Amino acid sequence: MKTPIENVEAIRAAMPREGLFAEKDWLISPTAFPLENEFVDELEKLGYRLGLFVRACNLLYQLSVRGKQPSWIADYLDRGKSPELIEFSRAQKFRDDLPRVLRPDLVLTESSPNSSQKNGAKKNAQFSFTIAELDNVPGGIGLTAWLNRVYASLGQDVIGGANGMIEGFRAILPDGADIIVSEEAATYRPEMEWLVHQLNNGSGEKKWRVADAANSNCKSLDAKTVYRFFELFDLANVPCASSLMNAALNDGVRITPPFKPYLEEKMWFALFWLRPLRNFWRRELSERHFLKLQQVVPYTWIVDPAPLPQHAVVPQLEINDWRELGKFSQKQRDLILKISGFSELAWGSRGVSLAADMPHHEWVAAVENALRQFASNPYILQRFHKGRLVEHPYFDPQKNVMRTMQGRVRLCPYYFRINGKTELRGALATVCPADKKLLHGMRDAILVPAATAVDF
């Protein structure tokens, strides 16, 4: 068995020359992040439930458009989008198209009071979690594939196995694909280049290719499937977007994730909690799965400035006007304000305001801005759930020694929709320093694959 330092050296030696993230690095750990079998089983079940949820979201929007559900649903979800994109997203031809990769961002929180605390490597394993958001155009696919392969080579039982991510991506695009990466997503281009190399390895033909959205010409696209690695708000910077849409309508080209901007809104979690839609969710998800998702989806509100009747209040907040949020005490402000979608501020922790960490005047200004933006860029408000503190080893490149970080974890399981099933093929754990409230990839964070807990 290798020592921790030997593991770190092996991981560093395996790093592709071109890297995996453009101009970004992270702290290396000798061990994957351990999760007990029961937790991994729960992740498997979560994938099935989220698959049902996304299918139900797609249906609810379409029923709203057709007048079989309230019109305000589609009105909320279409705000800020161009009429052309809205019309395209509603095309009958694409009615049942759904994203083929789902990645929820889970914040690992405190265990329930009845869970036992284990010693050693397993002590991090007993978690509850909350779903911060659900991503249909996720980064990290190639990175997690690489991490899984490298840590598996060190004898660690990573979720999905050594090649689960690669084979999952192959399975959703079995005939190959042109992967179009926008300038906005250029950070992730190296990981997709690495992934494509693995997919094509040993094959005489290059069925999978990476194309630059800024330079792409649809006439140069060979595959009948296009994997869209760009957000739909960024269409103006994708020169071939209109040609892609025409090819999808007229030439049988399949685009995944589909051009459905309504599916990329964070406000779905607010719609999930709205009482007028409760019967819809129960019917489409089943009572059991609806209740299970209620346990992990944070309570969320759409910050709609429409006046309420004098006798009405916003559920749980007990306010009649959003501006009353400015009167909340620090203890009442375990809330996070986010732009819902269709904006360059809607990813990477941009466009996010954590109420408890802001001076009062900045929080009041953030609420006012959200109310002003509603017509074109709706905001949501969520309950903020603080991540549980964990410990995980890492290599300090400055001092050339092993250290232990006390931090909080964002766990990103990757689910692939294969032959109608939602399959878990890997999970990326980001361990952030304890003083960071917003958990995302950063230079001083540890990035490792998740694995079933054993004595590494």
The CA distance from 167 to 397, in Å, is 33
- pLDDT in the model for residue 204: 63
Q: Averaged over 192-199, what is the pLDDT? A: 94
On the 0-12 / 13-18 / 19+ scale of CB atoms within 10 A, 257 is buried
26 and 445 Cβ atoms separated by less than 8 Å: yes
Higher local confidence (pLDDT), 203 or 4:
4
**Confidence class of residue 344 from pLDDT cuts 50, 70 and 90?**
confident
Dihedral pair phi/psi, residue 322, rounded to 5°: -60, -25
343 and 335 Cβ atoms separated by less than 8 Å: no
DSSP calls for 105-120: EEEEEPPPTTSPPPPG
Tokens 């994997």 -> residue:
227
Q: What is the pLDDT of residues 241-278, one digit of tens each?
A: 888 888 898 888 899 999 999 999 999 999 999 999 99
The CA distance from 198 to 162, in Å, is 12
- pLDDT in the model for residue 120: 37
Question: Angle at Cα 279 formed by Cα 278 and Cα 283, nearest 5°?
Answer: 120
- pLDDT in the model for residue 438: 66
163 and 136 Cβ atoms separated by less than 8 Å: no
Q: What is the pLDDT of residues 443-452, one digit of tens each?
A: 889 999 999 9
DSSP calls for 304-323: --PPPPTT---TTT--SSGG
Q: What is the pLDDT of residues 272-296, one digit of tens each?
A: 999 999 999 999 999 999 999 999 9
**Confidence class of residue 339 from pLDDT cuts 50, 70 and 90?**
very high
The CA distance from 414 to 104, in Å, is 8
Count CA atoms within 13 Å of residue 78 on its CB side: 18
Which residues, 6 or more positions from 291, have their beta carbon under 8 angstroms from its beta carbon? Answer: none
The CA distance from 149 to 163, in Å, is 6
Residue 216 CA to its chain's centroid (Å) = 26
Higher local confidence (pLDDT), 204 or 6:
6
| pLDDT of 454 above 50 | yes
- pLDDT in the model for residue 17: 86
Measured between alpha carbons, how far is residue 314 from residues 231, 239, 311, 360, 381 in Å? Answer: 32, 43, 11, 21, 12
